[in-house]
Each structure stands twice: as structure tokens, then as C-alpha cells.
């Protein structure tokens, strides 16, 4: 069985400022990009469409967003957007590509200064262990 290509680039979202919709108790948004896969950002159960975002500091290129779910299939349907020149653009919208804990989204290179994930549906309360934003080098086909 074919597997996803390995991730060998630096996570440009690691420890960058983040924001989110209302969090549950102390499980704040910073836990989703702290490079600790045991801590999680947990949305408050009262939020119907929770969101999480990271500020990358300045516009820079990237072509992959990786979401590590707390469980294998908690996240069901969501969108990933990036902000360029002050406007939000969709990079992905739909059902989770896999029931695995790690959801890898590769796309053509974009330039942006922030990434936002908005959850449309999930099993149980949204709980994200880690979000990575990468600009990986790819071999030409």
C-alpha cells in the first residue's frame, strides 16, 4: 500500500501567535502549535463552528498544512484558509481526507501571513493536538 510522502520541512507555524474561538477551560489555542503532540487545543462545546488560526508574522510561501487530530476521526468536515494581502482564501474545504489522526493537505504553493481552520462538523468536541504549516521542496514530475 502506498503511503504519504514524509514531511521533512520546518514547521513555520511552530510557537507563532495563535487565536481561536472560545476554548474549553485551560486547553488554549497555543497548545495547537507548541510542538507537543500530547497537549491539545479544545474548543468549548458550546461553539457550533469552532476556528483556530496562526499568525505567521509576514507573508511567506507554503504548500502544506498538517492537522494532527486528538483522535483518529474526531474532525469530520472543515476548511483551511490562508490570508494574503489582508483577504482570506480557501486552500481546502470538505471532509477529512483520512480517518487517521494525522491529516495532510498538500496544495500548490501560496503566499500568506496567516492560516485559519474552521470546523464545520466533528465527532465530539473539537480537539487539535498540532497544526503544522510547511513549505516543502518538491521534485518536478
Closest CA to 126 of 38, 36, 46, 35: 46
pLDDT attached to residue 72: 84
Contact yes or no for 89/81 (Cβ under 8 A)? yes
pLDDT attached to residue 98: 78
DSSP conformation class of 31: G
DSSP conformation class of 72: S
Of 8-17, 44-53, 95-104, which range is least confident?
95-104
Instruction: Answer whether residue 2 shows pLDDT above 80.
Output: no
**pTM summary value:** 0.92
pLDDT attached to residue 26: 85
Amino acid at each position: 500500500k502506498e503511503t504519504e510522502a514524509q514531511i521533512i520541512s520546518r514547521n513555520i507555524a511552530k510557537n507563532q501567535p495563535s487565536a481561536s474561538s472560545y476554548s474549553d477551560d485551560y486547553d488554549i489555542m497555543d497548545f495547537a502549535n507548541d510542538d507537543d503532540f500530547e497537549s491539545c487545543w479544545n474548543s468549548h462545546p458550546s461553539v457550533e463552528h469552532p476556528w483556530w488560526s496562526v499568525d505567521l508574522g509576514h507573508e511567506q510561501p507554503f504548500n502544506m498544512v498538517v492537522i494532527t487530530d486528538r483522535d483518529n476521526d474526531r474532525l469530520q468536515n472543515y476548511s483551511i484558509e490562508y490570508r494574503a494581502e489582508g483577504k482570506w482564501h480557501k486552500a481546502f474545504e470538505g471532509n477529512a481526507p483520512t480517518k487517521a489522526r494525522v491529516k495532510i493537505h498538500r496544495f500548490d504553493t501560496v503566499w500568506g501571513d496567516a492560516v485559519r481552520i474552521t470546523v464545520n462538523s466533528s465527532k465530539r468536541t473539537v480537539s487539535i493536538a498540532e497544526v503544522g504549516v510547511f513549505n516543502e521542496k518538491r521534485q518536478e514530475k
